[in-house]
Every structure is written in structure tokens, then in C-alpha cells.
Chain A
Amino acid sequence: MRVLPKQVDTLWTLFTAPVVWALHFLTCYIGAAIYCAKPDLFGVGFDAVRVGIAVATFLALGAISVSAWLAWRQWGFGTDDPPHDDPTRRDRILFQGFATLLLSGLSFVAVIYVALPALFVMECVR
């Protein structure tokens, strides 16, 4: 029995990676904003915020990687070349797999860019 079906007949999987990207973005920005507005609320230093962002980033990258792997599988591991533009079910699935793979790549890079400031910014004010 498969935990995850081999082919998913829904458009939703296409958005998984961008949604992870969006959640990661919101987590980082809202988290840092709340911390810097009310630092006493948490009783931790800014380094804890940076660690939190690092954890969120690795979780997000992991989730996006899983989405990318599933998409790659759906795309048949690159055995077929695009464009998948025949009006067949097979091409539809391949196309969706390929598009999801590309979006996952984009989201992967974007999540890294969102997290980069935390690597260099060491205090709320600088």
C-alpha cells in the first residue's frame, strides 16, 4: 500500500511549495517584528530569534524538497521532454509534475533569500 498516491489528480499539489514559502516568509517577518517590538515578552535574546528562523528555514526547505521529489516522480524523473501539450491525461500529469518541480525550485531559492538577513543582522536595530 502506498502512503502517497503515485499520481495526484488535483491541482493543489502545484501550490505546495509556494505555500510553504509564504508561511516561512510570514513566520520570519511576523516573528522578528513581534520580537523587536516587545523583546521582553519572550525573555530570550535576538540570537534565539535567529535560531528560530534557521529552524523554520530548514523545515521549509525540507518540505519543499519533498514536494520537489514528488513532482519529479510525477514528471517521470525527466524521461519525457517538455512541452507536454497533447490533450491527454498522461501529458496533463507530466505537465503538472514539471510545473510543480519548477515552482519548487523557485520556492527553494526564495526561502533561502528570505532567511539570509538573519545570517548577517545581529540585533533588532542593526
Chain B
Amino acid sequence: MDPAGEEAHQVLQLSVVLFCGAAAIWLGVVAALLYTARRRRKSLSEQSASRFILFGGAVLPSVTLAALLSYSLWLMPGLRPFGQAASAVLHVEVTGKQYWWHVVYRRSNGPVVVSANEIRLPVGQRVELTLASSDVIHSFWIPALGGKMDMIPGRTNRLSLLANKAGTFRGPCAEFCGTSHALMAFAVVTMEAQAFQEWLGTQARPSPRAADDGAALFLRHGCGACHAVAGIDARGTIGPDLSHLGSRLTLGAGSLPNTADAIARFITEPERIKPGVQMPSFAMLPQDDIRNIAAWLKDLE
């Protein structure tokens, strides 16, 4: 009800129009009902009754529906402004996976940035999102910014969003996709254009702490087979990119707050936190190693 984007604003407007229209019709019907039940003594002649049925029961609804249909169809091209999107400066590719989101930022004037489980968008700049899935059907939805769009294996769907307010929002997966479907969400941060450019700049470089002590443990225990961390020899793509994990707002696709303790817990018992998760438990590792890795990951900003 508090849209922060152009598309969400249109959806709200459509809902308000439909609600008020429905309320007006309902009031009319109830008023007519009360009128006949309370006031009216005489009944209508057969001919005016038929005319009433023809106009009230057939013509009026058809015309109303035609008007509503035209109104919503008229809104449609605006919700999918792909003509201009060819010139969109920023393209974001999001791939839904059980149970997380792979995110890639592409710009015409800068290196590609890979991230996960969090999406940042500039305010006042139209962004084209390319949505795909690598396993089952998921659905991408940022209620504060716009309508939802399914992510279907073997297809790419496109969505265009224009944020017009800075803030932090939540985006859920809106299509049941497995046991941890309810734990598949992402944080959305809309930022002023300047701050966004700076943020993207830092994301494009490895974290300054990437080579710290935790890195060796991370690599030794084989995390790099599934996870990528820029700046060290970890290039896995089965799990989320962890290059700047520390600066993300949530952990495990919105299922935990992002703290070193929570990261340690996630490494120890991912299956307890997210049933059906594609990451094995590492409870057998020495506690100290887990704690060191977690602290290092939290430092990757």
C-alpha cells in the first residue's frame, strides 16, 4: 500500500479504481434491494420489468466490464516498457535456485558484478531484469516496486522496474518451489544513483579482507567447490557468491540475520535452518575453524 516504484504505483491505482467501482456497484444493488423491500408497493409492468432486466442485467454490466477491460489493457504497455529498455543502462539477471537467488549486474560501462540474495537498484533509473530459473518454477516479486513475474526453467522472462524512493524492502519467492520455499527471499535496497554507482564500484573489486586468515581454511575445507569469493581461488557456482557476504542484510536468502554467529550456525547445520538445502552440513569441522571462517566471511564487505 506504500509503493516505492512506478509499477507498484500503477498496481495500487488499479486496485483503488477496482475497489471503488465494486463498492459503488454493491451500494447500488443494495440500495435497489432496500427500495423494493421497504418502499415500493406497486409492482412494475411486465414490459418495464423486462427493459430493466435487459439494461440493468445485460447492457450495464457489459459496458462496465468493457470499460474496466480497456482501462487495464491501457495500463499494460506501461508495465512492460521494453522498447526503451534496449537503452537501459543497467541490466540485472536474476536466477532462481532452490532456495536462493543468483544475481548478476551488467552495465554498458563497467565490469560485471556477481552477487546473491540481495538486489540493489538505483532510484530514478529504469532497470531491466532478466529472470530465469535453473531448477523449478520460482516467482520473483518485489511488492514495494512492482508486480511479480515467474521464473521458468528454460525461459527468460523480462521485467522492467523504476524505483522512485530510497529504502529497504523484502522480496519473497512467490511460487511454491520446495520444502524451504518460505525461506527463499531477498533483500532489496534502492539507493540514490550516486551511492548506487559507488556501491557497484566496491562490489566489482574483491573485498580488501579476502586474503585474510579465514581464506585458507575456507579453501582447505572445500567450500570453494561450490562458492566463489573474488580475490582467492574459489570459483564454485553451485552456491551463492560470497565475495561481499559481510555487507549483505540477511543470510541464507532472508532466513537469518547476517551475523558471524548466524554464519557459523549456517555452516554447522544448514539442513536444520533450511530443510532440503543444497549445502551439506559441516558440523564435523573443528569448532574453531568454523568460527574463523564465519568471522572472515562477515568481514568480506
Q: A residues touching B (Cβ–Cβ < 8 Å)?
A: 81, 105, 109, 112-113, 116-117, 119-123, 125-126
Closest to A117 in B: B73
Q: CB within 8 A of A109: which of B46, B62, B79? A: B62
Q: Is the CB of B82 within 8 A of A126?
A: yes
CA distance A81 to B53 in the complex (A): 14
Contacts of B33 in A (CB 8 A): none
In the assembled complex, B77 has its CB within 8 A of some CB on chain A: yes
Query: What separation, in Å, do the CA atoms of A116 and B69 have in the docked complex?
Result: 8
Interface size band for B: 10 to 19
CB of B69 within 8 A of CB of A123, answer no
Q: Name A123's closest neighbour in chain B (CB-CB).
A: B83
Majority secondary structure of chain B interface residues (helix, strand, loop or mixed): helix
Q: Which of B198-244 contact A (CB under 8 A)?
A: none
5 closest A-B pairs (Cβ-Cβ)? A126-B80, A120-B73, A126-B77, A125-B82, A109-B62
B58 within 8 A of A: yes
CB pairs A–B below 8 angstroms (20 shown): A105-B58, A109-B62, A109-B66, A112-B66, A116-B66, A117-B73, A119-B70, A119-B73, A120-B74, A120-B76, A120-B77, A121-B76, A121-B77, A122-B77, A123-B83, A125-B82, A125-B158, A126-B81, A126-B82, A126-B83
Minimum distance in angstroms from B215 CB to a CB of chain A: 45
Shortest Cβ distance from residue A39 to the other chain B in the assembled complex, whole angstroms = 15
On whether the beta carbons of A121 and B73 are closer than 8 Å, the reply is yes
* A125→B158 CA distance, assembly (Å): 10
Give the complex CA separation of A109 and B83 in angstroms. 32
A112 to B69 Cα, complex, angstroms: 11
Contact with A along B133-162 (1 / 0, CB 8 A): 000000000000000000000000010000
CB pair B70 A120 closer than 8 Å = yes
- Min C-beta distance of B296 to chain A, whole Å: 45
Name 12 extra pairs, CB < 8 A, besides A119-B73, A126-B82: A105-B58, A109-B66, A112-B66, A113-B69, A117-B73, A120-B70, A121-B76, A121-B77, A123-B82, A126-B76, A126-B79, A126-B80
- Contact yes or no, B74 A125, CB < 8 A: no
Closest Cβ–Cβ distance, residue A75 to chain B (whole Å): 14
Which residues of chain A are within 8 angstroms of B46 by Cβ–Cβ distance? 81
Closest to B54 in A: A105
A81 neighbours in B (Cβ, 8 Å): 46
CB-CB under 8 A from B70, the residues of chain A are: 116, 119-120
Query: Which among B65, B77, B81 has the greatest number of chain A C-beta atoms within 10 A?
Result: B77
A113 CB contact (under 8 Å) in B66, B76, B79, B158: B66
Q: How far is the CB of B261 from chain A (nearest CB, A)?
A: 47
Contacts of B69 in A (CB 8 A): 113, 116
Across-interface contacts of A122 in B (CB, < 8 A): 77
Chain A residues with Cβ below 8 Å from B62 are: 109
- Residues from chain A with Cβ under 8 Å of B74 in the complex: 120
Q: Please indicate the chain B residues that have their CB under 8 angstroms from the CB of A123 in the complex.
A: 77, 82-83
- Nearest-neighbour CB distance to chain B for A123, whole angstroms, equals 7
Contact with A along B41-70 (1 / 0, CB 8 A): 000001000000000001000100110011
CA distance A101 to B66 in the complex (A): 21
Interface residues of B in 65-98 (CB under 8 A from A): 65-66, 69-70, 73-74, 76-77, 79-83
* Closest residue on chain B to residue A102 by CB atoms: B58
Closest to B158 in A: A125
* CA of A7 to CA of B31, assembled, Å: 44
A116 engages B80 (CB within 8 Å): no
Give the docked Cα–Cα distance between A109 and B64 (Å). Answer: 12
Q: Which residues of A contact B83 (CB under 8 A)?
A: 123, 126
For A121, the chain B residues whose CB sits under 8 A away are 73, 76-77
User: In whole angstroms, what is the CA distance A116 to B70 when docked?
Assistant: 7
